[in-house]
Structure 1
Amino acid sequence: MAGAAGYRIQEAWASIDKAYRMMVIHKLERSAKADMEAEDLWSEAVARMMREDPETGHNDADEPVMHIARYRGMTRLPWYFLATARTIAIDRHRRRERGPRQQSTDFSEDVSRISQMDDPSFASTQSETMKALAAAVLSGFESLEANHQYLLAAIYRDGMSKAEAGAIAGLSPWQTSRELRKAEEHMRLRVQHALPGEWNALTKDAWIHGWQQCWRVSDAPTEPDRNSRSEDVA
Protein backbone atom coordinates (compact mmCIF):
# COMPACT_ATOMS: atom_id res chain seq x y z
CA MET A 1 0.00 0.00 0.00
CA ALA A 2 2.82 2.41 0.89
CA GLY A 3 4.58 1.66 -2.38
CA ALA A 4 1.43 2.38 -4.39
CA ALA A 5 0.85 5.59 -2.44
CA GLY A 6 4.45 6.61 -3.11
CA TYR A 7 3.80 6.22 -6.82
CA ARG A 8 0.80 8.56 -6.57
CA ILE A 9 -1.95 5.94 -6.75
CA GLN A 10 -4.91 7.87 -5.31
CA GLU A 11 -6.78 4.73 -4.24
CA ALA A 12 -3.83 3.81 -2.02
CA TRP A 13 -3.99 7.15 -0.22
CA ALA A 14 -7.74 6.75 0.23
CA SER A 15 -7.17 3.28 1.72
CA ILE A 16 -4.50 4.60 4.11
CA ASP A 17 -6.86 7.35 5.26
CA LYS A 18 -9.74 4.92 5.80
CA ALA A 19 -7.67 2.24 7.53
CA TYR A 20 -5.33 4.26 9.74
CA ARG A 21 -6.51 7.83 10.24
CA MET A 22 -8.74 7.30 13.28
CA MET A 23 -6.35 4.75 14.78
CA VAL A 24 -3.45 7.22 14.68
CA ILE A 25 -5.62 10.14 15.87
CA HIS A 26 -6.81 8.15 18.90
CA LYS A 27 -3.18 7.44 19.81
CA LEU A 28 -2.26 11.10 19.37
CA GLU A 29 -5.15 12.31 21.50
CA ARG A 30 -3.47 10.82 24.56
CA SER A 31 -0.59 13.26 24.23
CA ALA A 32 -2.07 16.11 22.14
CA LYS A 33 -3.77 19.01 23.89
CA ALA A 34 -7.00 18.74 21.95
CA ASP A 35 -8.74 16.60 19.36
CA MET A 36 -8.23 19.33 16.78
CA GLU A 37 -4.48 19.25 17.35
CA ALA A 38 -4.43 15.47 16.94
CA GLU A 39 -6.35 15.80 13.67
CA ASP A 40 -3.94 18.45 12.44
CA LEU A 41 -0.93 16.35 13.40
CA TRP A 42 -2.30 13.48 11.30
CA SER A 43 -2.86 15.89 8.39
CA GLU A 44 0.67 17.24 8.69
CA ALA A 45 2.08 13.71 8.83
CA VAL A 46 0.20 12.85 5.63
CA ALA A 47 1.44 16.05 3.98
CA ARG A 48 5.01 15.17 4.95
CA MET A 49 4.61 11.70 3.43
CA MET A 50 3.28 13.32 0.24
CA ARG A 51 6.38 15.44 -0.32
CA GLU A 52 8.03 14.84 -3.66
CA ASP A 53 11.15 12.69 -3.37
CA PRO A 54 12.85 12.65 -6.80
CA GLU A 55 15.94 10.93 -5.37
CA THR A 56 13.83 7.82 -4.75
CA GLY A 57 12.59 7.64 -8.35
CA HIS A 58 9.78 8.55 -10.74
CA ASN A 59 6.48 6.92 -11.67
CA ASP A 60 5.35 5.92 -15.17
CA ALA A 61 4.24 9.50 -15.84
CA ASP A 62 7.78 10.67 -14.98
CA GLU A 63 6.52 12.40 -11.81
CA PRO A 64 8.73 12.27 -8.71
CA VAL A 65 7.52 9.64 -6.27
CA MET A 66 6.37 10.72 -2.83
CA HIS A 67 8.34 10.45 0.39
CA ILE A 68 6.28 7.51 1.66
CA ALA A 69 8.00 5.37 -0.98
CA ARG A 70 10.98 5.22 1.43
CA TYR A 71 8.91 3.11 3.84
CA ARG A 72 10.56 -0.31 4.12
CA GLY A 73 8.14 -2.17 6.37
CA MET A 74 10.40 -2.26 9.44
CA THR A 75 7.36 -1.27 11.51
CA ARG A 76 3.62 -1.34 10.83
CA LEU A 77 2.47 1.43 8.52
CA PRO A 78 0.14 3.15 11.05
CA TRP A 79 3.01 3.32 13.58
CA TYR A 80 5.16 4.88 10.85
CA PHE A 81 2.58 7.66 10.49
CA LEU A 82 2.25 7.90 14.27
CA ALA A 83 6.01 8.32 14.70
CA THR A 84 6.04 11.03 12.03
CA ALA A 85 3.15 12.89 13.70
CA ARG A 86 4.86 12.71 17.09
CA THR A 87 8.09 14.03 15.59
CA ILE A 88 6.14 16.98 14.17
CA ALA A 89 4.56 17.59 17.60
CA ILE A 90 7.97 17.50 19.32
CA ASP A 91 9.46 19.90 16.76
CA ARG A 92 6.51 22.25 17.22
CA HIS A 93 6.92 22.16 21.02
CA ARG A 94 10.65 22.86 20.78
CA ARG A 95 10.04 25.86 18.54
CA ARG A 96 7.54 27.24 21.07
CA GLU A 97 9.97 26.66 23.94
CA ARG A 98 12.84 28.24 22.07
CA GLY A 99 10.89 31.36 21.16
CA PRO A 100 12.47 34.23 19.25
CA ARG A 101 16.21 34.08 18.77
CA GLN A 102 18.07 36.03 21.40
CA GLN A 103 19.56 39.34 20.37
CA SER A 104 23.31 39.55 20.03
CA THR A 105 25.16 40.44 23.22
CA ASP A 106 28.19 41.66 21.24
CA PHE A 107 28.27 45.41 21.90
CA SER A 108 30.44 46.25 18.86
CA GLU A 109 28.10 44.25 16.62
CA ASP A 110 25.07 46.09 18.02
CA VAL A 111 26.71 49.49 17.45
CA SER A 112 27.57 48.47 13.89
CA ARG A 113 23.95 47.52 13.22
CA ILE A 114 22.66 50.81 14.65
CA SER A 115 25.11 52.71 12.45
CA GLN A 116 23.88 50.76 9.44
CA MET A 117 20.27 51.64 10.21
CA ASP A 118 21.20 55.35 10.33
CA ASP A 119 22.69 55.08 6.83
CA PRO A 120 20.12 56.40 4.27
CA SER A 121 21.22 53.83 1.68
CA PHE A 122 20.65 51.01 4.19
CA ALA A 123 17.19 52.37 5.05
CA SER A 124 16.35 52.57 1.34
CA THR A 125 17.48 48.99 0.77
CA GLN A 126 15.41 47.80 3.74
CA SER A 127 12.36 49.62 2.42
CA GLU A 128 12.75 48.01 -1.01
CA THR A 129 13.19 44.58 0.59
CA MET A 130 10.03 45.03 2.65
CA LYS A 131 7.97 46.15 -0.36
CA ALA A 132 9.29 43.28 -2.49
CA LEU A 133 8.48 40.72 0.20
CA ALA A 134 4.94 41.98 0.80
CA ALA A 135 4.31 42.17 -2.96
CA ALA A 136 5.64 38.63 -3.51
CA VAL A 137 3.32 37.22 -0.84
CA LEU A 138 0.28 38.96 -2.35
CA SER A 139 1.23 38.03 -5.92
CA GLY A 140 1.73 34.40 -4.93
CA PHE A 141 -1.64 34.27 -3.19
CA GLU A 142 -3.48 35.89 -6.11
CA SER A 143 -2.00 33.32 -8.51
CA LEU A 144 -3.35 30.38 -6.49
CA GLU A 145 -6.38 28.40 -7.59
CA ALA A 146 -9.55 29.59 -5.87
CA ASN A 147 -9.79 26.41 -3.80
CA HIS A 148 -6.21 26.78 -2.62
CA GLN A 149 -6.89 30.39 -1.60
CA TYR A 150 -9.91 29.12 0.31
CA LEU A 151 -7.92 26.46 2.20
CA LEU A 152 -5.19 28.90 3.26
CA ALA A 153 -7.72 31.52 4.38
CA ALA A 154 -10.01 29.05 6.15
CA ILE A 155 -7.18 27.37 8.06
CA TYR A 156 -4.68 30.17 8.73
CA ARG A 157 -6.99 33.20 8.85
CA ASP A 158 -10.26 31.79 10.18
CA GLY A 159 -8.75 29.09 12.41
CA MET A 160 -10.67 26.12 11.02
CA SER A 161 -9.21 22.67 11.46
CA LYS A 162 -7.86 21.13 8.27
CA ALA A 163 -10.56 18.45 8.35
CA GLU A 164 -13.35 21.03 8.75
CA ALA A 165 -12.04 23.27 5.98
CA GLY A 166 -11.59 20.31 3.66
CA ALA A 167 -15.06 18.94 4.38
CA ILE A 168 -16.63 22.25 3.33
CA ALA A 169 -14.72 21.97 0.05
CA GLY A 170 -15.88 18.40 -0.42
CA LEU A 171 -12.41 16.96 0.27
CA SER A 172 -11.50 13.99 2.42
CA PRO A 173 -8.82 14.60 5.09
CA TRP A 174 -6.03 13.10 2.97
CA GLN A 175 -7.13 15.12 -0.07
CA THR A 176 -7.13 18.25 2.09
CA SER A 177 -3.55 17.51 3.16
CA ARG A 178 -2.54 17.05 -0.46
CA GLU A 179 -4.18 20.26 -1.69
CA LEU A 180 -2.86 22.29 1.26
CA ARG A 181 0.64 20.97 0.54
CA LYS A 182 0.28 22.10 -3.08
CA ALA A 183 -0.85 25.57 -1.99
CA GLU A 184 1.99 25.96 0.51
CA GLU A 185 4.59 24.75 -2.00
CA HIS A 186 3.24 27.19 -4.60
CA MET A 187 3.56 30.05 -2.11
CA ARG A 188 7.07 28.97 -1.12
CA LEU A 189 8.23 29.01 -4.75
CA ARG A 190 6.61 32.38 -5.42
CA VAL A 191 8.13 34.19 -2.41
CA GLN A 192 11.53 32.53 -1.98
CA HIS A 193 13.27 35.07 -4.25
CA ALA A 194 12.10 37.89 -1.96
CA LEU A 195 12.85 36.26 1.39
CA PRO A 196 15.49 38.20 3.35
CA GLY A 197 18.79 36.61 4.25
CA GLU A 198 18.27 37.75 7.85
CA TRP A 199 14.92 38.40 9.52
CA ASN A 200 14.35 41.45 11.69
CA ALA A 201 11.37 43.38 13.00
CA LEU A 202 10.95 45.30 9.73
CA THR A 203 10.96 42.27 7.43
CA LYS A 204 8.66 40.44 9.84
CA ASP A 205 6.22 43.37 9.57
CA ALA A 206 6.46 43.20 5.77
CA TRP A 207 5.69 39.47 5.85
CA ILE A 208 2.64 40.07 8.06
CA HIS A 209 1.52 42.99 5.89
CA GLY A 210 1.71 40.79 2.79
CA TRP A 211 -0.55 38.19 4.37
CA GLN A 212 -2.95 40.86 5.63
CA GLN A 213 -3.33 41.98 2.02
CA CYS A 214 -4.05 38.37 1.04
CA TRP A 215 -6.77 38.11 3.66
CA ARG A 216 -8.35 41.30 2.30
CA VAL A 217 -8.38 39.72 -1.16
CA SER A 218 -10.35 36.82 0.32
CA ASP A 219 -12.51 38.93 2.66
CA ALA A 220 -15.66 37.62 1.02
CA PRO A 221 -17.31 34.77 2.97
CA THR A 222 -14.99 31.80 2.87
CA GLU A 223 -16.73 29.52 0.39
CA PRO A 224 -14.79 27.22 -1.94
CA ASP A 225 -15.41 26.78 -5.64
CA ARG A 226 -16.09 23.07 -5.92
CA ASN A 227 -15.59 23.21 -9.69
CA SER A 228 -12.00 24.44 -9.30
CA ARG A 229 -10.68 21.43 -7.43
CA SER A 230 -7.76 19.51 -8.89
CA GLU A 231 -8.83 17.18 -11.65
CA ASP A 232 -7.73 14.05 -9.80
CA VAL A 233 -9.83 14.67 -6.68
CA ALA A 234 -12.34 11.85 -6.58
Structure 2
Amino acid sequence: MILIITAGVVALLGTLIGTRIFIGFLVRRGYGQFVRDDGPKTHGSKRGTPTMGGAVIVGSALIAYALAHLLNWERPSYSGLLLIGLLVACGALGFIDDWTKIRQQRSLGLTGRGKLIGQLLIGLAFGIAALNFPNTYGETPASQAISFTRDIDWLRLPVVAAVIWMTLLIIASSNAVNLTDGVDGLATGALTMVFGAYVLISIWQRNQWCRPGSTASPMCYQVR
Protein backbone atom coordinates (compact mmCIF):
# COMPACT_ATOMS: atom_id res chain seq x y z
CA MET A 1 0.00 0.00 0.00
CA ILE A 2 2.89 2.37 0.81
CA LEU A 3 4.37 1.82 -2.64
CA ILE A 4 0.99 2.42 -4.27
CA ILE A 5 0.64 5.73 -2.43
CA THR A 6 4.25 6.62 -3.31
CA ALA A 7 3.61 5.90 -6.97
CA GLY A 8 0.44 8.00 -6.85
CA VAL A 9 2.28 10.95 -5.30
CA VAL A 10 5.12 10.68 -7.83
CA ALA A 11 2.64 10.58 -10.72
CA LEU A 12 0.74 13.57 -9.32
CA LEU A 13 3.84 15.69 -8.74
CA GLY A 14 5.29 14.65 -12.08
CA THR A 15 2.11 15.74 -13.83
CA LEU A 16 1.82 19.06 -11.98
CA ILE A 17 5.47 20.03 -12.41
CA GLY A 18 5.88 18.50 -15.85
CA THR A 19 2.76 20.20 -17.20
CA ARG A 20 4.02 23.61 -16.16
CA ILE A 21 7.38 23.01 -17.86
CA PHE A 22 5.75 21.49 -20.93
CA ILE A 23 3.34 24.42 -21.34
CA GLY A 24 6.28 26.83 -21.31
CA PHE A 25 8.03 24.77 -23.97
CA LEU A 26 4.92 24.71 -26.19
CA VAL A 27 4.37 28.46 -25.82
CA ARG A 28 7.98 29.24 -26.75
CA ARG A 29 7.70 27.00 -29.80
CA GLY A 30 4.34 28.43 -30.79
CA TYR A 31 2.66 25.03 -30.61
CA GLY A 32 -0.99 25.49 -29.79
CA GLN A 33 -4.57 24.72 -30.72
CA PHE A 34 -5.78 25.91 -34.11
CA VAL A 35 -9.36 27.16 -34.42
CA ARG A 36 -11.46 27.23 -37.59
CA ASP A 37 -12.18 30.75 -38.82
CA ASP A 38 -15.75 29.80 -39.72
CA GLY A 39 -16.49 28.44 -36.26
CA PRO A 40 -18.27 30.19 -33.35
CA LYS A 41 -16.57 33.42 -32.27
CA THR A 42 -16.44 32.17 -28.69
CA HIS A 43 -13.99 29.48 -29.81
CA GLY A 44 -11.49 32.18 -30.76
CA SER A 45 -10.31 32.36 -27.16
CA LYS A 46 -9.02 28.79 -27.50
CA ARG A 47 -6.64 29.72 -30.30
CA GLY A 48 -3.05 28.98 -29.28
CA THR A 49 -4.05 26.94 -26.21
CA PRO A 50 -1.21 24.47 -25.47
CA THR A 51 -2.06 20.93 -26.49
CA MET A 52 -0.57 17.41 -26.21
CA GLY A 53 -0.74 17.57 -22.41
CA GLY A 54 -1.51 13.86 -22.29
CA ALA A 55 2.16 13.18 -23.03
CA VAL A 56 3.06 14.52 -19.57
CA ILE A 57 0.38 12.43 -17.85
CA VAL A 58 1.43 9.23 -19.62
CA GLY A 59 5.11 9.93 -18.96
CA SER A 60 4.49 10.57 -15.26
CA ALA A 61 2.47 7.36 -14.96
CA LEU A 62 5.29 5.36 -16.58
CA ILE A 63 7.91 6.84 -14.24
CA ALA A 64 5.74 6.20 -11.17
CA TYR A 65 5.02 2.61 -12.22
CA ALA A 66 8.70 1.87 -12.86
CA LEU A 67 9.78 3.54 -9.60
CA ALA A 68 7.32 1.56 -7.49
CA HIS A 69 8.64 -1.73 -8.87
CA LEU A 70 12.27 -0.68 -8.49
CA LEU A 71 11.75 0.28 -4.84
CA ASN A 72 10.06 -3.06 -4.18
CA TRP A 73 12.56 -5.05 -6.27
CA GLU A 74 9.61 -6.64 -8.00
CA ARG A 75 9.22 -7.54 -11.65
CA PRO A 76 6.20 -5.95 -13.35
CA SER A 77 3.33 -8.35 -13.90
CA TYR A 78 2.12 -9.15 -17.39
CA SER A 79 -1.26 -7.64 -16.51
CA GLY A 80 0.42 -4.42 -15.44
CA LEU A 81 2.55 -4.23 -18.57
CA LEU A 82 -0.51 -4.91 -20.70
CA LEU A 83 -2.39 -1.99 -19.16
CA ILE A 84 0.65 0.26 -19.44
CA GLY A 85 0.89 -0.73 -23.10
CA LEU A 86 -2.77 0.19 -23.60
CA LEU A 87 -2.18 3.57 -21.96
CA VAL A 88 0.87 4.28 -24.12
CA ALA A 89 -0.86 3.14 -27.32
CA CYS A 90 -3.94 5.30 -26.76
CA GLY A 91 -1.72 8.20 -25.69
CA ALA A 92 0.39 7.81 -28.83
CA LEU A 93 -2.75 7.92 -30.99
CA GLY A 94 -3.82 11.14 -29.29
CA PHE A 95 -0.33 12.59 -29.67
CA ILE A 96 -0.34 11.86 -33.41
CA ASP A 97 -3.75 13.52 -33.69
CA ASP A 98 -2.55 16.69 -31.92
CA TRP A 99 0.78 16.76 -33.75
CA THR A 100 -1.04 16.52 -37.09
CA LYS A 101 -3.02 19.63 -36.16
CA ILE A 102 0.17 21.52 -35.35
CA ARG A 103 2.14 20.38 -38.38
CA GLN A 104 -0.67 21.05 -40.84
CA GLN A 105 -1.92 24.12 -38.96
CA ARG A 106 -5.55 23.11 -38.94
CA SER A 107 -8.18 22.41 -36.30
CA LEU A 108 -8.67 18.80 -37.40
CA GLY A 109 -5.96 16.19 -36.91
CA LEU A 110 -6.51 12.59 -37.88
CA THR A 111 -9.67 11.82 -39.80
CA GLY A 112 -12.52 10.09 -38.01
CA ARG A 113 -11.81 6.94 -39.95
CA GLY A 114 -8.12 7.11 -39.10
CA LYS A 115 -8.84 7.44 -35.38
CA LEU A 116 -11.35 4.61 -35.46
CA ILE A 117 -8.94 2.30 -37.28
CA GLY A 118 -6.22 3.11 -34.75
CA GLN A 119 -8.54 2.47 -31.81
CA LEU A 120 -9.78 -0.74 -33.41
CA LEU A 121 -6.25 -2.09 -33.85
CA ILE A 122 -5.32 -1.15 -30.29
CA GLY A 123 -8.47 -2.75 -28.89
CA LEU A 124 -8.05 -5.98 -30.85
CA ALA A 125 -4.38 -6.28 -29.87
CA PHE A 126 -5.26 -5.71 -26.21
CA GLY A 127 -8.18 -8.15 -26.25
CA ILE A 128 -6.17 -10.94 -27.85
CA ALA A 129 -3.20 -10.41 -25.53
CA ALA A 130 -5.43 -10.22 -22.44
CA LEU A 131 -6.79 -13.72 -23.07
CA ASN A 132 -3.32 -15.22 -23.43
CA PHE A 133 -0.11 -15.45 -21.38
CA PRO A 134 -1.44 -17.07 -18.18
CA ASN A 135 0.44 -16.53 -14.92
CA THR A 136 1.76 -19.22 -12.55
CA TYR A 137 -1.80 -19.89 -11.39
CA GLY A 138 -3.06 -20.41 -14.93
CA GLU A 139 -4.95 -17.10 -14.97
CA THR A 140 -4.90 -14.83 -18.00
CA PRO A 141 -5.01 -11.03 -17.46
CA ALA A 142 -8.67 -10.93 -18.57
CA SER A 143 -11.47 -13.44 -18.16
CA GLN A 144 -14.10 -14.64 -20.59
CA ALA A 145 -16.51 -15.09 -17.69
CA ILE A 146 -19.32 -12.63 -17.01
CA SER A 147 -18.85 -11.18 -13.54
CA PHE A 148 -20.52 -9.04 -10.93
CA THR A 149 -18.14 -9.04 -7.98
CA ARG A 150 -16.56 -12.33 -9.03
CA ASP A 151 -16.43 -14.42 -12.19
CA ILE A 152 -19.49 -16.54 -12.97
CA ASP A 153 -17.67 -19.61 -14.27
CA TRP A 154 -20.67 -21.16 -16.00
CA LEU A 155 -21.48 -17.93 -17.87
CA ARG A 156 -18.59 -17.38 -20.25
CA LEU A 157 -18.27 -15.53 -23.55
CA PRO A 158 -16.66 -17.23 -26.55
CA VAL A 159 -13.13 -15.99 -27.24
CA VAL A 160 -14.16 -13.97 -30.30
CA ALA A 161 -17.07 -12.35 -28.45
CA ALA A 162 -14.83 -11.50 -25.48
CA VAL A 163 -12.23 -9.84 -27.73
CA ILE A 164 -14.94 -7.86 -29.55
CA TRP A 165 -16.47 -6.78 -26.23
CA MET A 166 -13.12 -5.57 -24.87
CA THR A 167 -12.43 -3.73 -28.13
CA LEU A 168 -15.80 -1.97 -27.93
CA LEU A 169 -15.13 -0.96 -24.32
CA ILE A 170 -11.77 0.55 -25.26
CA ILE A 171 -13.16 2.44 -28.26
CA ALA A 172 -16.17 3.69 -26.29
CA SER A 173 -14.09 4.81 -23.30
CA SER A 174 -11.51 6.57 -25.47
CA ASN A 175 -14.11 8.48 -27.46
CA ALA A 176 -16.19 9.26 -24.37
CA VAL A 177 -13.22 11.01 -22.75
CA ASN A 178 -12.40 12.81 -26.00
CA LEU A 179 -15.97 14.05 -26.46
CA THR A 180 -16.30 15.09 -22.82
CA ASP A 181 -13.05 17.03 -23.01
CA GLY A 182 -14.24 18.71 -26.20
CA VAL A 183 -17.59 19.75 -24.72
CA ASP A 184 -16.38 21.55 -21.60
CA GLY A 185 -12.69 21.87 -22.44
CA LEU A 186 -11.61 19.88 -19.42
CA ALA A 187 -12.50 16.27 -18.64
CA THR A 188 -10.80 16.37 -15.24
CA GLY A 189 -13.99 16.76 -13.22
CA ALA A 190 -15.72 13.79 -14.82
CA LEU A 191 -12.58 11.64 -14.75
CA THR A 192 -11.99 12.38 -11.06
CA MET A 193 -15.33 10.79 -10.18
CA VAL A 194 -14.68 7.82 -12.46
CA PHE A 195 -11.16 7.24 -11.12
CA GLY A 196 -12.46 7.60 -7.56
CA ALA A 197 -15.02 4.87 -8.22
CA TYR A 198 -12.34 2.57 -9.63
CA VAL A 199 -10.14 3.19 -6.59
CA LEU A 200 -12.97 2.01 -4.33
CA ILE A 201 -13.58 -1.01 -6.57
CA SER A 202 -9.87 -1.87 -6.50
CA ILE A 203 -9.74 -1.66 -2.70
CA TRP A 204 -12.79 -3.91 -2.42
CA GLN A 205 -11.39 -6.44 -4.87
CA ARG A 206 -8.02 -6.45 -3.13
CA ASN A 207 -9.64 -7.09 0.25
CA GLN A 208 -11.61 -10.01 -1.20
CA TRP A 209 -8.61 -11.52 -2.99
CA CYS A 210 -7.21 -14.94 -2.14
CA ARG A 211 -4.68 -17.10 -3.93
CA PRO A 212 -6.04 -19.85 -6.17
CA GLY A 213 -6.66 -22.99 -4.15
CA SER A 214 -6.64 -21.14 -0.84
CA THR A 215 -9.27 -22.08 1.73
CA ALA A 216 -8.43 -19.27 4.15
CA SER A 217 -11.89 -17.78 3.83
CA PRO A 218 -15.06 -18.84 2.01
CA MET A 219 -15.63 -15.18 1.13
CA CYS A 220 -12.42 -14.70 -0.84
CA TYR A 221 -12.10 -15.30 -4.55
CA GLN A 222 -9.63 -14.92 -7.39
CA VAL A 223 -9.14 -11.35 -8.55
CA ARG A 224 -7.51 -10.57 -11.87
When you count helix as a share of all residues, which structure comes out higher? 1
The structure whose RCO (Cα within 8 Å, separation 6+) is larger is 1
When you count strand as a share of all residues, which structure comes out higher? 2
How does the TM-score come out when normalised to structure 1? 0.25
How does the TM-score come out when normalised to structure 2? 0.26
